[in-house]
Amino acid sequence: MIMNTTAEWRIGFRHCVMIIATLTAILFFSSSKGHAQQKDLGEVSILTAVSNMAFSALWVAEQLKYFEQEGVRAKITPAGGGAPCQNAVVGRSAHLCASSSEGLVLAQIDGAPLIAIQAHNRNLTLSIAIRKAITDKFKVTRSSPLNDRIKVLTELGTIGATSPGAVSEQIFKFLVPKVKGDPGKLKFVYLGGTELPPALMNNVIDALAQSPPSAEVTEAAGKGYVLLPLGLGEVAELTNYPYEVLMARPDWDDQNAALATATSRAISRAGALYHSNPNAFKAALRAHRFSDKSKLEDNVFELGYSMIAPAMPTWGDMNQEGWQKVLDFSIGAGIVKDRAKAPSAKEGVLWTNKFAGK
């Protein structure tokens, strides 16, 4: 009788243990599921002006699934230009636009309700490529003094730009006066972005200015030479400068503060990765759909990466000094025609750190 009672007790004890373990597992998975549901902040549509390496922080964030880790289901699509990118956000067909800061200045002057909430870069990232025959003629390289390199711009024939008034044109007009050159003597032809590298390699134009890897393609082909890689931070007025920024409608930001903050934080984490683990950042960028081996040859990627990586910020927050540089460049380069119409550089006008997530 005692043995039977003991056996029954052991069986009952094992049943209790199994029940407790089952309940614990159920509670654990229920808790995990509830946490995942709480973490999911929703979907956000992000447009980028183009798909070049100026947006490297965004590409790395996508590749390493930082958006998902922050609870965001990000849908990222190149828009084919800054204007369609901005217009989609203003018209509410997209939530966020990643595009240039001087473009945001112009949009605000035109009355568009847009504000920057995160910066992808800390330097203006344009690379100025010159036909190699010209750099050889003047015996200049990237190691030559800065002013010696800028002087070459005053000796050029036709310069290629994307469109009238675009930064790809105005950067030449901004730099030439630094060596007492006359920007009025510069000659431009407008070909759109994709046609500029072939035009330089076929001697149709003498120079171009685009973010990596467009200019670097011409150097890898032996036809061009990146004489002024501005992403390296050699020009003080264009350094510590928020170039490509994430912008949104202010009303959308205010109504979706958690989603805006999580999205900004994901991109900023990617930029910060370059400073804490540059090899991991580089590997993620190389694996991304816009810069993998099917899109860029090794020599083009390596050269482009060397020009863009130093422009990665430690975080994507911004300051008034940086935005004053954006305004000074926009006015000095003639992008903003009327100084009196230029917005203020103070926080809350063109930019805000409310959603920086730092």
Q: What is the DSSP string of 15-38?
A: HHHHHHHHHHHHHHHHHHHHHHHH
Q: Which residue has the tokens 């084919």?
A: 80
pLDDT one-digit tens code per residue, 100-142: 999 999 999 999 999 999 999 999 999 999 999 999 999 999 9
Is there a single domain that holds both residue 260 and residue 315? yes
- The three-class DSSP label of residue 65 is coil
pLDDT one-digit tens code per residue, 26-73: 333 333 333 333 479 999 999 999 999 999 999 999 999 999 999 999
Please identify, among 203, 234, 265, the residue that sits at the C-terminal boundary of a domain: 234
Is there a single domain that holds both residue 166 and residue 291? no
Q: What is the 3-state secondary structure (H, E, C) of 165-190?
A: CCHHHHHHHHHHHHHCCCHHHCEEEE
Is there a single domain that holds both residue 67 and residue 90? yes
pLDDT one-digit tens code per residue, 80-103: 999 999 999 999 999 999 999 999
Rounded to whole angstroms, the Cα distance separating 218 from 198 reads: 8
Distances (CA, A) of 233 to 63, 102, 146, 230, 254: 26, 18, 11, 6, 34
**Strand-pair partners of 159:** 188, 207
Mean pLDDT of the chain: 91
As a whole number, mean pLDDT of residues 166-190 equals: 97
* Structural domains in the chain (count): 2
Kindly list the strands in the beta sheet with 127-131, ordered across the sheet, starting from the edge strand earlier in the chain. 187-190, 158-161, 207-210, 127-131, 224-229
Domain containing 117 — which CATH number?
3.40.190.10
Residues in the chain, overall count: 358
16 inside domain: no
Is there a single domain that holds both residue 113 and residue 201? no
Using the predicted structure, report yes or no on whether residue 2 has a pLDDT greater than 90: no
As a whole number, mean pLDDT of residues 251-256 equals: 97
230 inside domain: yes
The pair of structure tokens assigned to 230 is: 């501005």
Is there a single domain that holds both residue 203 and residue 335? no
Is there a single domain that holds both residue 164 and residue 289? no
Using the predicted structure, report yes or no on whether residue 274 has a pLDDT greater than 90: yes
Is there a single domain that holds both residue 216 and residue 260? no
pLDDT one-digit tens code per residue, 287-313: 999 999 999 999 999 999 999 999 999
Is there a single domain that holds both residue 229 and residue 146? yes
**Strand-pair partners of 100:** 244
Domain residue limits at 206: 127-234
What pTM was computed for the model?
A: 0.88
The least confident of 13-27, 43-57, 266-280, 340-354 is 13-27
As a whole number, mean pLDDT of residues 306-322 equals: 97
Is there a single domain that holds both residue 289 and residue 230? no
89 inside domain: yes
